Structure 1
Amino acid sequence: MKAVVLPDGSVSLPATLRERHGLTRGGEVLVEDTGDAIVLRTLDQAVARAQALSRRLVAGQAGASVDDFLAARAGDTGAE
């Protein structure tokens, strides 16, 4: 698909892309410069990507889950 860079520097995305990804007027995207490309992600896409990366990084590591963290915190006495 083709997008247009307007004279003021804004980019006009095709309506089909905006609709498919839930981008309405005033919707925000994150812009990533990968060095050889520009990647646009919705905030939901960026969160999902970060969550997937986190899951891969801690997979199989004991004590790495949120439940493990909360259990450890519940065991803290607060004494220093």
Structure 2
Amino acid sequence: MTLQINITPNGRMSLPADVRKRLGLTDGGVIYLDETEDGVVLRTANQAVARAQELAKRYTGENPDASVDAFLNRRREDSGE
């Protein structure tokens, strides 16, 4: 779906109500903007987290020692906590 979004002179833009509703942004929220070679991509916080997790899996695979919890446990052990 392609939508035209107008940007005001001070840089504000509005997402249509039906889009906000589908994305769970009816009470406001945060959108992350990624500038890519192809253009601009907007993601909700949940979409941004899912994307980050997908990218992390590409580099860590299913290695259990690559989790944040494993990293923090190793740091605690190294520091004697």
Q: Please provide the CA RMSD for this pair.
A: 2.9
Q: Deviations over 1:26-48 (max 9, x none)?
A: 31111111144111111111111
The count of corresponding residues between Structure 1 and Structure 2 is: 79
Q: Does structure 2 retain, via aligned residues, the 8 Å contact 1:31–1:39?
A: yes
Deviating runs (4+, > 2 A) in structure 1? Answer: 60-78
Q: Deviations over 1:20-74 (max 9, x none)?
A: 1111343111111114411111111111110111122111447324565577568
TM-score (norm 1): 0.69
Q: Alpha carbons of 1:19 and 1:68: their partners in 2 closer, same or farther (altered >3 Å)?
A: same
SS of structure 1 residue aligned to 2:55: helix
Larger Rg: 1 or 2? 1
Q: What are the ranges of 5 or more consecutive residues in structure 1 without an aligned counterpart? A: none
In the other structure, the counterpart of 1:15 is: 17
> Offset of 1:9 from its aligned partner?
1.7
In the other structure, the counterpart of 1:53 is: 55
TM-score (norm 2): 0.68
